[in-house]
Amino acid sequence: VNHEIRKEVWPYLLGHYQFGSTAEEREELDKSCRQNYETTMSEWLAVEAIVRQRDKEMMAANLAKLSSESTSGGDVPPQTPTTGGQDLSNDVFVSLNSDDEDDEDDDEDEDDDHNEGLIVDD
One pLDDT digit (tens) per residue for the chain, 122 residues: 788 899 899 999 999 999 999 999 999 999 999 999 999 999 999 999 999 999 999 999 999 999 888 887 555 555 555 555 455 555 555 555 555 544 445 544 444 444 444 454 44
Q: Residue 56's CB: how many other CB atoms inside 10 A?
A: 10
pLDDT at 88: 54
Nearest one of 96, 89, 80, 3 to 47, comparing CA atoms: 96
pLDDT at 4: 87
pLDDT at 112: 47
pLDDT at 22: 95
Distance of CA 60 to the CA centre of its chain: 20
Phi-psi region of 98 (alpha: psi -120 to 50; beta: other; left: phi over 0): beta
